[in-house]
Structure 1
Amino acid sequence: MAVIGIQLRDELLRRMERDQKVRLSLPEDGPVPEALMEVWRSVDADNTAFLKQVIDTHGWPGHDLVGEEAAHAAWLLAQHADHDLAFQQRCLMLLRDAVGRGQATAQDLAYLVDRVRVGEGRPQVYGTQYRSCDGALQPQPIEAPERLDERRAEAGLEPYADYDRHMRQHYG
Protein backbone atom coordinates (compact mmCIF):
# COMPACT_ATOMS: atom_id res chain seq x y z
CA MET A 1 0.00 0.00 0.00
CA ALA A 2 1.43 3.38 -1.02
CA VAL A 3 1.97 6.13 1.54
CA ILE A 4 -1.15 8.00 0.40
CA GLY A 5 -3.20 4.84 0.85
CA ILE A 6 -1.84 4.34 4.36
CA GLN A 7 -2.65 7.93 5.30
CA LEU A 8 -6.16 7.63 3.84
CA ARG A 9 -6.66 4.28 5.56
CA ASP A 10 -5.69 5.70 8.93
CA GLU A 11 -7.90 8.76 8.53
CA LEU A 12 -10.91 6.72 7.35
CA LEU A 13 -10.55 4.38 10.31
CA ARG A 14 -10.22 7.31 12.73
CA ARG A 15 -13.35 8.90 11.31
CA MET A 16 -15.30 5.64 11.49
CA GLU A 17 -14.30 5.27 15.13
CA ARG A 18 -15.53 8.78 15.93
CA ASP A 19 -18.77 8.17 14.00
CA GLN A 20 -19.45 5.04 16.01
CA LYS A 21 -18.47 6.64 19.33
CA VAL A 22 -21.08 9.36 18.82
CA ARG A 23 -23.79 6.91 17.79
CA LEU A 24 -23.05 4.52 20.64
CA SER A 25 -23.28 7.36 23.16
CA LEU A 26 -27.00 7.84 22.48
CA PRO A 27 -29.25 7.17 25.46
CA GLU A 28 -31.10 3.86 25.20
CA ASP A 29 -34.33 5.35 26.53
CA GLY A 30 -35.71 8.82 26.26
CA PRO A 31 -34.94 11.74 24.01
CA VAL A 32 -31.50 12.48 22.61
CA PRO A 33 -30.08 15.66 24.18
CA GLU A 34 -29.77 18.50 21.66
CA ALA A 35 -26.07 18.94 22.47
CA LEU A 36 -25.43 15.33 21.46
CA MET A 37 -27.45 15.80 18.26
CA GLU A 38 -25.28 18.83 17.43
CA VAL A 39 -22.13 16.72 17.86
CA TRP A 40 -23.71 13.98 15.71
CA ARG A 41 -24.59 16.43 12.92
CA SER A 42 -21.14 18.02 13.10
CA VAL A 43 -19.36 14.65 12.84
CA ASP A 44 -21.52 13.63 9.88
CA ALA A 45 -21.01 16.95 8.08
CA ASP A 46 -17.25 16.86 8.63
CA ASN A 47 -17.02 13.22 7.50
CA THR A 48 -19.08 13.97 4.39
CA ALA A 49 -16.85 16.90 3.45
CA PHE A 50 -13.78 14.71 3.95
CA LEU A 51 -15.18 11.84 1.87
CA LYS A 52 -16.12 14.26 -0.93
CA GLN A 53 -12.48 15.41 -1.09
CA VAL A 54 -11.22 11.83 -1.09
CA ILE A 55 -13.58 10.85 -3.92
CA ASP A 56 -12.77 13.96 -5.95
CA THR A 57 -9.06 13.17 -5.65
CA HIS A 58 -8.91 9.36 -5.74
CA GLY A 59 -12.33 8.06 -6.74
CA TRP A 60 -13.99 5.51 -4.47
CA PRO A 61 -11.45 4.42 -1.82
CA GLY A 62 -11.48 0.70 -2.52
CA HIS A 63 -9.64 -2.31 -1.15
CA ASP A 64 -6.50 -1.81 -3.24
CA LEU A 65 -6.07 1.82 -2.17
CA VAL A 66 -6.97 1.68 1.54
CA GLY A 67 -7.57 -1.97 2.50
CA GLU A 68 -10.82 -3.75 3.27
CA GLU A 69 -11.48 -2.24 6.71
CA ALA A 70 -10.97 1.34 5.55
CA ALA A 71 -13.01 0.73 2.38
CA HIS A 72 -15.80 -0.35 4.74
CA ALA A 73 -15.21 2.83 6.75
CA ALA A 74 -15.67 4.90 3.58
CA TRP A 75 -19.00 3.15 3.01
CA LEU A 76 -20.04 3.96 6.60
CA LEU A 77 -19.30 7.65 6.09
CA ALA A 78 -21.40 7.63 2.91
CA GLN A 79 -24.16 5.68 4.68
CA HIS A 80 -24.34 8.38 7.35
CA ALA A 81 -24.38 11.31 4.90
CA ASP A 82 -28.19 11.46 5.03
CA HIS A 83 -28.07 15.26 5.08
CA ASP A 84 -26.71 15.17 1.49
CA LEU A 85 -28.83 12.78 -0.59
CA ALA A 86 -27.21 13.87 -3.85
CA PHE A 87 -23.81 12.89 -2.46
CA GLN A 88 -25.18 9.56 -1.24
CA GLN A 89 -26.54 8.94 -4.74
CA ARG A 90 -23.11 9.70 -6.19
CA CYS A 91 -21.49 7.34 -3.69
CA LEU A 92 -23.99 4.64 -4.62
CA MET A 93 -22.97 4.86 -8.26
CA LEU A 94 -19.26 4.76 -7.35
CA LEU A 95 -19.72 1.95 -4.85
CA ARG A 96 -21.67 -0.13 -7.37
CA ASP A 97 -18.74 0.21 -9.77
CA ALA A 98 -16.24 -0.61 -7.00
CA VAL A 99 -18.14 -3.80 -6.14
CA GLY A 100 -18.05 -4.78 -9.80
CA ARG A 101 -14.26 -4.40 -9.75
CA GLY A 102 -13.84 -6.34 -6.50
CA GLN A 103 -12.91 -3.17 -4.58
CA ALA A 104 -15.87 -3.13 -2.14
CA THR A 105 -18.39 -5.59 -0.75
CA ALA A 106 -21.86 -6.41 -1.99
CA GLN A 107 -23.08 -6.19 1.61
CA ASP A 108 -22.02 -2.55 1.91
CA LEU A 109 -23.65 -1.84 -1.45
CA ALA A 110 -26.94 -3.41 -0.31
CA TYR A 111 -27.08 -1.18 2.77
CA LEU A 112 -26.37 1.96 0.73
CA VAL A 113 -28.96 0.99 -1.89
CA ASP A 114 -31.55 0.80 0.89
CA ARG A 115 -30.41 4.01 2.57
CA VAL A 116 -30.60 5.99 -0.68
CA ARG A 117 -33.96 4.52 -1.64
CA VAL A 118 -35.41 5.41 1.76
CA GLY A 119 -33.98 8.91 1.39
CA GLU A 120 -35.71 9.16 -1.99
CA GLY A 121 -39.02 8.05 -0.45
CA ARG A 122 -38.92 4.68 -2.23
CA PRO A 123 -39.22 1.18 -0.74
CA GLN A 124 -35.95 -0.47 0.19
CA VAL A 125 -34.68 -3.58 -1.60
CA TYR A 126 -32.80 -5.50 1.12
CA GLY A 127 -34.69 -4.67 4.32
CA THR A 128 -31.71 -3.11 6.12
CA GLN A 129 -33.28 0.19 7.20
CA TYR A 130 -35.52 0.63 10.25
CA ARG A 131 -37.27 3.50 11.98
CA SER A 132 -38.91 4.04 15.31
CA CYS A 133 -42.68 4.23 14.99
CA ASP A 134 -44.63 5.03 18.15
CA GLY A 135 -41.74 3.72 20.22
CA ALA A 136 -41.47 0.43 18.30
CA LEU A 137 -38.74 -0.45 15.82
CA GLN A 138 -40.18 -1.13 12.37
CA PRO A 139 -38.56 -1.78 8.99
CA GLN A 140 -38.94 0.92 6.39
CA PRO A 141 -41.23 -0.21 3.53
CA ILE A 142 -39.76 -3.09 1.52
CA GLU A 143 -40.19 -3.67 -2.21
CA ALA A 144 -41.53 -7.14 -3.17
CA PRO A 145 -41.11 -8.64 0.32
CA GLU A 146 -41.87 -12.13 -0.99
CA ARG A 147 -38.45 -12.12 -2.72
CA LEU A 148 -36.56 -10.36 0.07
CA ASP A 149 -34.50 -13.34 1.25
CA GLU A 150 -33.53 -14.16 -2.33
CA ARG A 151 -32.18 -10.63 -2.84
CA ARG A 152 -30.47 -10.66 0.55
CA ALA A 153 -28.72 -13.96 -0.26
CA GLU A 154 -27.51 -12.57 -3.60
CA ALA A 155 -25.93 -9.67 -1.70
CA GLY A 156 -24.32 -11.96 0.87
CA LEU A 157 -26.69 -10.93 3.67
CA GLU A 158 -28.21 -13.27 6.24
CA PRO A 159 -31.91 -14.24 6.03
CA TYR A 160 -34.22 -11.37 6.93
CA ALA A 161 -35.72 -13.13 9.96
CA ASP A 162 -32.24 -13.37 11.53
CA TYR A 163 -31.47 -9.72 10.76
CA ASP A 164 -34.85 -8.56 12.07
CA ARG A 165 -34.34 -10.51 15.31
CA HIS A 166 -30.90 -8.92 15.73
CA MET A 167 -32.26 -5.42 15.09
CA ARG A 168 -35.09 -5.83 17.60
CA GLN A 169 -32.80 -7.31 20.27
CA HIS A 170 -30.20 -4.56 19.97
CA TYR A 171 -32.15 -1.49 18.88
CA GLY A 172 -35.80 -2.16 19.65
Structure 2
Amino acid sequence: MPRHLTVVAILAAIALPLTAQTKPTAEPAWKTAIEARRQQLIQKNGYGTDSALRTQLMQMRSTDQTARGFAPSSATRKEMMQKLPVTDAELTGELKQIVQQKGWPTIALVGIDASNAAMLILTHTADHAWQRQMLPQLEQLADTGKIDPSSLAFVVDKELVAQGKLQRYGTQFKYINGGLAMYGVEDPGGLDAQRARALLPPIDVYKQQLTAMYHIPASKQIVTATPQN
Protein backbone atom coordinates (compact mmCIF):
# COMPACT_ATOMS: atom_id res chain seq x y z
CA MET A 1 0.00 0.00 0.00
CA PRO A 2 1.52 3.36 -0.98
CA ARG A 3 2.18 5.84 1.79
CA HIS A 4 -0.50 8.20 0.55
CA LEU A 5 -3.64 7.07 -1.21
CA THR A 6 -6.71 9.01 -2.21
CA VAL A 7 -9.70 6.68 -2.15
CA VAL A 8 -12.45 7.25 -4.69
CA ALA A 9 -14.97 4.52 -4.98
CA ILE A 10 -18.43 4.06 -6.32
CA LEU A 11 -19.69 1.01 -4.34
CA ALA A 12 -22.20 -1.61 -5.44
CA ALA A 13 -24.56 -3.29 -2.96
CA ILE A 14 -24.33 -7.08 -2.81
CA ALA A 15 -27.62 -8.93 -2.36
CA LEU A 16 -27.26 -12.12 -0.32
CA PRO A 17 -29.64 -15.04 -1.05
CA LEU A 18 -32.15 -15.89 1.65
CA THR A 19 -32.26 -19.39 3.09
CA ALA A 20 -35.47 -21.09 4.15
CA GLN A 21 -34.65 -20.21 7.77
CA THR A 22 -33.75 -16.58 7.09
CA LYS A 23 -36.37 -13.87 7.32
CA PRO A 24 -35.95 -10.76 5.19
CA THR A 25 -34.95 -7.70 7.19
CA ALA A 26 -36.24 -4.22 6.54
CA GLU A 27 -33.95 -1.96 4.56
CA PRO A 28 -32.63 1.06 6.48
CA ALA A 29 -34.57 4.25 5.84
CA TRP A 30 -31.65 5.99 4.13
CA LYS A 31 -31.29 3.14 1.63
CA THR A 32 -35.01 3.04 0.86
CA ALA A 33 -35.04 6.81 0.31
CA ILE A 34 -32.03 6.69 -2.03
CA GLU A 35 -33.48 3.87 -4.09
CA ALA A 36 -36.84 5.64 -4.37
CA ARG A 37 -35.19 8.81 -5.67
CA ARG A 38 -33.00 6.79 -8.03
CA GLN A 39 -36.09 5.16 -9.48
CA GLN A 40 -37.64 8.60 -9.90
CA LEU A 41 -34.64 9.65 -11.99
CA ILE A 42 -35.05 6.56 -14.16
CA GLN A 43 -38.80 7.07 -14.57
CA LYS A 44 -38.29 10.72 -15.47
CA ASN A 45 -35.51 10.13 -18.00
CA GLY A 46 -36.08 6.61 -19.28
CA TYR A 47 -33.52 3.93 -20.03
CA GLY A 48 -31.59 5.73 -22.73
CA THR A 49 -32.06 6.13 -26.46
CA ASP A 50 -28.50 5.45 -27.68
CA SER A 51 -27.87 1.75 -27.11
CA ALA A 52 -24.52 1.76 -28.95
CA LEU A 53 -23.16 4.54 -26.77
CA ARG A 54 -24.54 2.81 -23.68
CA THR A 55 -22.58 -0.33 -24.58
CA GLN A 56 -19.44 1.71 -25.27
CA LEU A 57 -19.59 3.46 -21.89
CA MET A 58 -20.17 0.22 -19.99
CA GLN A 59 -17.15 -1.28 -21.74
CA MET A 60 -15.14 1.78 -20.72
CA ARG A 61 -16.29 1.28 -17.13
CA SER A 62 -15.17 -2.35 -17.28
CA THR A 63 -11.74 -1.28 -18.53
CA ASP A 64 -11.46 1.29 -15.74
CA GLN A 65 -12.41 -1.19 -13.02
CA THR A 66 -10.16 -3.95 -14.36
CA ALA A 67 -7.25 -1.51 -14.43
CA ARG A 68 -7.88 -0.77 -10.74
CA GLY A 69 -8.12 -4.39 -9.67
CA PHE A 70 -11.90 -4.40 -9.12
CA ALA A 71 -12.46 -6.94 -11.91
CA PRO A 72 -10.62 -10.16 -12.83
CA SER A 73 -7.33 -9.65 -14.66
CA SER A 74 -4.29 -11.77 -15.51
CA ALA A 75 -1.96 -8.84 -14.81
CA THR A 76 -0.18 -8.43 -11.48
CA ARG A 77 -1.01 -5.47 -9.25
CA LYS A 78 2.35 -3.91 -10.09
CA GLU A 79 1.68 -4.25 -13.81
CA MET A 80 -1.80 -2.72 -13.41
CA MET A 81 -0.49 0.26 -11.45
CA GLN A 82 2.23 0.88 -14.03
CA LYS A 83 -0.31 0.83 -16.85
CA LEU A 84 -3.01 2.78 -15.01
CA PRO A 85 -1.97 6.30 -16.14
CA VAL A 86 -1.99 5.15 -19.77
CA THR A 87 -5.41 3.52 -19.34
CA ASP A 88 -6.84 6.64 -17.71
CA ALA A 89 -5.46 8.84 -20.49
CA GLU A 90 -6.96 6.60 -23.17
CA LEU A 91 -10.36 6.56 -21.46
CA THR A 92 -10.23 10.33 -20.98
CA GLY A 93 -9.57 10.81 -24.69
CA GLU A 94 -12.45 8.50 -25.55
CA LEU A 95 -14.82 10.34 -23.21
CA LYS A 96 -13.77 13.74 -24.58
CA GLN A 97 -14.62 12.54 -28.07
CA ILE A 98 -18.04 11.35 -26.90
CA VAL A 99 -18.76 14.69 -25.21
CA GLN A 100 -17.63 16.62 -28.28
CA GLN A 101 -19.86 14.61 -30.59
CA LYS A 102 -22.95 14.00 -28.45
CA GLY A 103 -22.71 16.13 -25.35
CA TRP A 104 -22.48 14.76 -21.83
CA PRO A 105 -24.05 11.27 -21.56
CA THR A 106 -27.25 11.97 -19.65
CA ILE A 107 -29.63 9.37 -18.25
CA ALA A 108 -32.06 10.11 -21.09
CA LEU A 109 -29.35 9.44 -23.65
CA VAL A 110 -27.70 6.28 -22.27
CA GLY A 111 -29.49 5.21 -19.08
CA ILE A 112 -28.42 5.78 -15.48
CA ASP A 113 -25.70 3.09 -15.29
CA ALA A 114 -23.90 4.20 -18.44
CA SER A 115 -24.28 7.86 -17.45
CA ASN A 116 -22.61 7.02 -14.14
CA ALA A 117 -19.91 5.13 -16.06
CA ALA A 118 -19.06 8.35 -17.88
CA MET A 119 -18.78 10.16 -14.55
CA LEU A 120 -16.50 7.42 -13.23
CA ILE A 121 -14.09 8.05 -16.11
CA LEU A 122 -14.20 11.79 -15.40
CA THR A 123 -13.52 11.12 -11.72
CA HIS A 124 -10.34 9.22 -12.58
CA THR A 125 -9.01 11.55 -15.27
CA ALA A 126 -5.66 13.23 -14.73
CA ASP A 127 -6.85 16.18 -16.80
CA HIS A 128 -7.97 18.41 -13.93
CA ALA A 129 -8.37 21.42 -16.19
CA TRP A 130 -11.01 19.59 -18.22
CA GLN A 131 -12.58 18.29 -15.03
CA ARG A 132 -12.97 21.87 -13.73
CA GLN A 133 -14.27 23.01 -17.10
CA MET A 134 -17.02 20.37 -17.07
CA LEU A 135 -18.23 20.98 -13.50
CA PRO A 136 -20.64 23.91 -14.08
CA GLN A 137 -22.46 22.02 -16.84
CA LEU A 138 -22.58 18.82 -14.81
CA GLU A 139 -23.88 20.57 -11.70
CA GLN A 140 -26.66 22.10 -13.79
CA LEU A 141 -27.53 18.68 -15.20
CA ALA A 142 -27.67 17.25 -11.68
CA ASP A 143 -29.80 20.13 -10.40
CA THR A 144 -32.32 19.52 -13.18
CA GLY A 145 -32.44 15.77 -12.59
CA LYS A 146 -30.72 14.75 -15.83
CA ILE A 147 -27.79 12.89 -14.23
CA ASP A 148 -27.23 11.02 -10.97
CA PRO A 149 -25.92 13.48 -8.33
CA SER A 150 -24.19 10.71 -6.37
CA SER A 151 -21.61 10.08 -9.09
CA LEU A 152 -21.03 13.82 -9.58
CA ALA A 153 -20.32 14.22 -5.85
CA PHE A 154 -17.05 12.32 -6.24
CA VAL A 155 -15.88 14.66 -9.02
CA VAL A 156 -16.83 17.76 -7.01
CA ASP A 157 -14.96 16.54 -3.93
CA LYS A 158 -11.94 15.40 -5.88
CA GLU A 159 -11.59 18.81 -7.51
CA LEU A 160 -12.03 20.65 -4.19
CA VAL A 161 -9.35 18.48 -2.56
CA ALA A 162 -7.02 19.03 -5.53
CA GLN A 163 -7.36 22.78 -4.93
CA GLY A 164 -6.57 22.37 -1.23
CA LYS A 165 -10.15 23.21 -0.22
CA LEU A 166 -12.66 21.53 2.10
CA GLN A 167 -14.67 18.85 0.34
CA ARG A 168 -18.46 18.93 0.27
CA TYR A 169 -19.66 15.32 0.45
CA GLY A 170 -16.91 13.47 2.33
CA THR A 171 -16.06 11.07 -0.51
CA GLN A 172 -12.28 11.61 -0.45
CA PHE A 173 -10.00 9.82 2.00
CA LYS A 174 -6.23 9.58 2.44
CA TYR A 175 -4.22 6.55 3.52
CA ILE A 176 -2.18 7.62 6.52
CA ASN A 177 -0.85 5.93 9.65
CA GLY A 178 -2.34 2.57 8.63
CA GLY A 179 -5.86 3.87 8.18
CA LEU A 180 -8.15 5.88 5.93
CA ALA A 181 -8.57 9.47 7.11
CA MET A 182 -11.23 11.74 5.64
CA TYR A 183 -10.26 15.07 4.15
CA GLY A 184 -11.94 17.97 5.94
CA VAL A 185 -15.49 18.89 4.87
CA GLU A 186 -17.28 22.24 4.55
CA ASP A 187 -20.09 21.45 6.99
CA PRO A 188 -19.28 18.56 9.36
CA GLY A 189 -22.56 18.90 11.26
CA GLY A 190 -24.63 18.85 8.08
CA LEU A 191 -22.59 16.24 6.22
CA ASP A 192 -25.16 13.45 6.30
CA ALA A 193 -27.88 15.83 5.11
CA GLN A 194 -25.62 16.99 2.27
CA ARG A 195 -24.87 13.38 1.36
CA ALA A 196 -28.56 12.46 1.44
CA ARG A 197 -29.35 15.23 -1.05
CA ALA A 198 -26.72 13.73 -3.35
CA LEU A 199 -28.15 10.19 -2.98
CA LEU A 200 -25.17 9.04 -0.89
CA PRO A 201 -25.36 6.88 2.27
CA PRO A 202 -24.56 8.32 5.71
CA ILE A 203 -20.85 8.89 6.28
CA ASP A 204 -20.58 6.11 8.90
CA VAL A 205 -22.03 3.62 6.40
CA TYR A 206 -19.64 4.86 3.70
CA LYS A 207 -16.68 4.38 6.04
CA GLN A 208 -17.81 0.81 6.70
CA GLN A 209 -18.02 0.21 2.94
CA LEU A 210 -14.51 1.59 2.41
CA THR A 211 -13.14 -0.59 5.21
CA ALA A 212 -14.77 -3.70 3.72
CA MET A 213 -13.55 -2.91 0.21
CA TYR A 214 -9.94 -1.98 0.96
CA HIS A 215 -9.44 -4.00 4.16
CA ILE A 216 -8.12 -0.84 5.78
CA PRO A 217 -9.91 0.73 8.76
CA ALA A 218 -11.49 4.14 8.26
CA SER A 219 -10.43 6.28 11.21
CA LYS A 220 -11.97 9.36 12.77
CA GLN A 221 -8.91 11.38 11.85
CA ILE A 222 -9.44 14.44 9.64
CA VAL A 223 -6.69 15.57 7.28
CA THR A 224 -6.18 18.89 5.55
CA ALA A 225 -6.00 19.00 1.77
CA THR A 226 -3.07 20.74 0.15
CA PRO A 227 -3.16 22.19 -3.38
CA GLN A 228 -1.79 19.87 -6.03
CA ASN A 229 0.78 21.24 -8.42
Aligned partner of 2:131 in structure 1 is 88
Matched-pair identity in % = 33
Aligned partner of 1:12 in structure 2 is 57
CA positional deviation for 1:155: 1.4
* Structure 1 residues 57-68: aligned runs within 5 Å: 57-68=101-112
Q: Residues 114 and 129 of structure 1 are in contact (CA less than 8 Å); yes or no, is this contact kept in structure 2?
A: yes
Flag the structure with more relative contact order, 1 or 2, with Cα contacts below 8 A and sequence separation at least 6: 2
* Structure 1 residues 1-172: aligned runs within 5 Å: 2=49, 5-24=50-69, 33=78, 35-81=79-125, 83-171=126-214, 172=216
Distance 1:122 1:128 in 2: 13
Distance 1:54 1:167 in 2: 31
Q: Look up the equivalent residue of 1:119 and give its one-letter code.
A: A
Q: Could you list the runs of 5+ residues in structure 2 that have no partner in the other structure?
A: 1-47, 72-76, 217-229
**Aligned CA-pair RMSD:** 1.8
Distance 2:52 2:70 in 1: 27
TM-score by length of 2: 0.66
Distance 1:148 1:6 in 2: 37
Q: Could you list the runs of 5+ residues in structure 1 that have no partner in the other structure?
A: 27-31
Distance 2:85 2:167 in 1: 24
Cα deviation 1:101-143 (Å, max 9, x = unaligned): 3221111122221111112221111101112113321112222
Q: Look up the equivalent residue of 1:140 and give its one-letter code.
A: Y
> What SS does the aligned partner of 1:139 have?
strand
Q: Residues 44 and 77 of structure 1 are in contact (CA less than 8 Å); yes or no, is this contact kept in structure 2?
A: yes
Could you list the structure 1 runs, at least 4 aligned residues long, displaced by more than 4 angstroms after superposition.
none
Larger Rg: 2
Q: Look up the equivalent residue of 1:91 and give its one-letter code.
A: M
Larger helix percent: 1
Q: Residues 47 and 77 of structure 1 are in contact (CA less than 8 Å); yes or no, is this contact kept in structure 2?
A: yes
Q: Look up the equivalent residue of 1:154 and give its one-letter code.
A: R
